[in-house]
Amino acid sequence: MSGTTVLPELEVEEEVRVRRQPPYHVILLNDDDHSYAYVIEMLRELFGYTIEKGFLLAEEVDKKGRVIVCTTSLERAELKQEQIHAYGPDPLIERCKGSMTAIIEPSE
């Protein structure tokens, strides 16, 4: 009896490496042309922050000159920066000519 031996198929495990994008900070910079109310409302609309969280961030940017408003992928950080820059002037301050400034920096 010359039979053919069939070996069971071997499962080959492939190692899949997921490369994560490095995180980036979106940093809001202080100026004297925007009110706390403006900052709080902008952060609520663009980031979904509560009024309380918005106040804490507005207070920090006022006192320290800058505050990290989110840490995310580069693509989303660029989107959030653009949204901040497009938000428009503060209607409560007459001399205000435009939006606040935000920068992006690597988180590490």
CATH number for the domain harbouring residue 44: 3.30.1390.10
Count of domains forming the chain: 1
Predicted pLDDT at 26:
98
In a domain, 54, yes or no: yes
Predicted pLDDT at 12:
63
Locus of tokens 């980036």: 24
Instruction: Quickly count: other Cβ atoms within 10 Å of residue 65's Cβ.
Output: 12
Q: Taking the complete model, does pTM exceed 0.85, yes or no?
A: no
The domain of 65 spans 24-106
In a domain, 102, yes or no: yes
Q: What is the CA radius of gyration of the chain?
A: 25
Predicted pLDDT at 1:
55
Which segments of the chain have a pLDDT < 50?
Answer: none
Distance of CA 17 to the CA centre of its chain: 25
Locus of tokens 């994008």: 21
In single-letter form, the type of residue at position 79 comes to L
Structure tokens at 87: 């938000």
